[in-house]
Chains A and B, each alone.
Chain A
Amino acid sequence: MKRFFAIFMARNLEFIRDKATFIWTLLLPAFLIFGFAFAFSGTNNAVYKIGTVGEKPAGKAFLSYRHLQFISYPSGEEALNKLKHHQVDMVLDFDAGNYYINNDDTNGYIAEKLLASDLDLKLKRKTVTGTVIRYIDWFVPGVIGMNIMFSCLMGVGFVIVRYRKNGVLKRFKATPLRSIEFITAQLISRFLIVIFTSIVIYTGTNIFLHFEMSGSYTDLFLVTSLAILCHISLGLLFSTRFKSEEVAGGIINIVIWPMMFLSGIFFSLEGTPPAMQVASRLFPITHFIEAARKIMLDGAGLSGVTVSILVLTAATIIFLVASAVLFKWE
């Protein structure tokens, strides 16, 4: 325990005193959030998004209009949820024979006018209400996820490889320190650091942007913690063997970049090719972002995100066990 604390404290000091990294860790995500908030403020999408439920009837003119994007949903409930938050402009429920628009959405009004021009489609009009979800509300879980991904994979994976390469690990190997003590100290130190930076980033930008928060902060905190643990464990796994920073850095990048674009950080994966959606399921970060969005935007409780929780927990355990087995000082 004494040995664990010694390494833990030293690692914390190292992080806090490494000013350049410290500031970057906080500034980059904040910069992204404000940048995107500014870029997307007040713009209306030129493309109207129409959610559909059930089999689309063939040969209808409306269904082939340009500037309309159709996204099919398995259930009417899910589609209406999207409509409430202005993520789609209209929902056509062919099963129920209804169409829905959001009373608070001007896009829906235009989409309805377009629909009216196609007299063949006979659907009954229904309305829902709900506040608009800005892009930024939707984007913020993505940025937190991205911060987790970088901070954990680089701060653990890359740093331990650097320690190994320049001989820090060898120096520890010459002492009674056990590898499990070293690993847990790295894990917990990084865990606290990333929790801290995530909270600072969220609250810091929330002061100015007032994100939509329909769920509970406790649930969000729990899911975030789990995601952090999961990514630190993944970082540890990367760090177990590599001796060169270049190789480790390269491999971490090979993993990070697909995760950046396939995990729905910047754009929704709805309507993307099925192969891409399946690929996105492989990345733990996708499950975090999805859960965080459900909590923040749809007001889901923990029971609403059980799948994500299970996936993240399982991945964490697998990564941790594999790291403990594979770890080498040299």
Chain B
Amino acid sequence: MEPLLKVRNLVKHYGKVKAVDDISFIVREGMCFGLLGPNGAGKTTTIEVMESIHKADSGEILYKGKKIDRKFKEQVGIQFQNTALQEFLTVRETLVLFSRLYTRHRPLDEIIKICSLDEIINRDNQKLSGGQRQRMLLGIAMISDPQILFLDEPTTGLDPQARRYFWKVIEDIKKENKTIILTTHYMDEAEYLCEEIVIMDRGKILESGEPKALLQKHFGGAVISLPEKDVNGGLDLDCTPVHKDGYLKIQCHDTDRTIQELIRKGIPLNGISVEKPNLDDLFIKLTGSSLDAVRNGTGGDDR
């Protein structure tokens, strides 16, 4: 079957910066697809080319096997990473405004319910908390009852509680069998929401697939963390440990053998923790640095 969206050899420069460097992937209908990567990885650029907000330098986007035309805008809902709305309108008026821009739209009551906008519906659209604002923007994206939803870092900057709440809303939307394309730099978010992910860094794709399968592929067993100060000298193990936040992270295939090895070397195990590996660990493994380090290192966008 033809995939819903197909991205082929996409390249996009901003002046000298190569924001997206020859990437290809497909998005199948009805899934939540995650574009994962640190700030500056090229997620926004990729997704905005897919939305046909920007033109690619080369490569193409196919929607149901065809080039994107004007009608595409009726089929998609978009939540930008950075956006603004006309001032002096209430949330309801804003939703009504956008509903009238489409040939057909979903009843306002449904949008209010799905995005829990009840409490804020008559409030000025500039006077919302971070989480409320993101839910309103999601409501706008949903207003035309689109097949495809593009959400660009919808939870960045929200507190953990508001993020969880937003996830719940997304989960409800997923039940409607919509195709969601989401970007995030939170590994846990991608793991929680997405059936399929692409991990990006510096405009290139590092890995792609189902989160579980990816973890399976890269990590047989668990991740062992040790305080760095407890380890003197080299550890002669069958894998290379990675340093992160004062801890040494050892990702090994055989957890039993690794622990025995540590005991044999007389390393104190008081500070040890054994965790199931997550996408964060995968990112560390793929790039040799943690997500935060990459973020600060490249000085990507923090607008």
Contacts and interface: CB of A to CB of B under 8 A. Distances in A.
Interface string A289-318: 000000000000000000000000000000
A13 B93 contact: yes
Interface in A123-181: 163, 166-168, 170-177
B181 to A, nearest CB: 14
Nearest to B72: A176
B82 A167 contact: yes
Contact of B98 (A9, A17, A175): A175
Contacts of B78: 174
B129 interface: no
A237 B100 CA distance: 27
13 contacts: A6-B100, A6-B101, A7-B97, A17-B88, A18-B87, A18-B88, A167-B82, A168-B83, A170-B80, A172-B101, A173-B53, A174-B51, A176-B103
B17 interface: no
Given A170-B83, A175-B102, 7 more contacts: A3-B101, A6-B96, A11-B86, A167-B80, A170-B80, A174-B78, A176-B70
Contacts of B106: none
A14 interface: yes
A10 interface: yes
A9 B101 CA distance: 13
Contacts of A166: 84
Given A18-B88, A173-B53, A176-B73, A167 B93 contact: no
Interface of B: 51, 53, 70, 73-74, 76, 78, 80, 82-89, 93, 96-98, 100-103, 140, 144
Contacts of B101: 3, 6, 172, 175-177
Indicate the member of B74, B87, B144 with the most A CB atoms within 10 Å. B87
Given A13-B93, A170-B80, A171-B80, A176 B102 contact: yes
B53 A174 contact: yes
Given A10-B97, A13-B93, A174 B86 contact: no
A168 B85 contact: yes
A90 to B, nearest CB: 56
A2 interface: yes
B84 A167 contact: yes
A10 B83 CA distance: 17
A95 B89 CA distance: 67
Contact of A171 (B84, B96, B144): B84
A14 B53 CA distance: 26
B83 A13 contact: no
Given A7-B97, A170-B53, A13 B88 contact: yes
Interface string A1-43: 0110111011101100110000000000000000000000000
Contacts of A11: 86
Contacts of B82: 167
B84 A10 contact: no
A3 B87 contact: no
Nearest to A174: B78
A52 B85 CA distance: 60
Contacts of A174: 51, 53, 73, 76, 78, 80
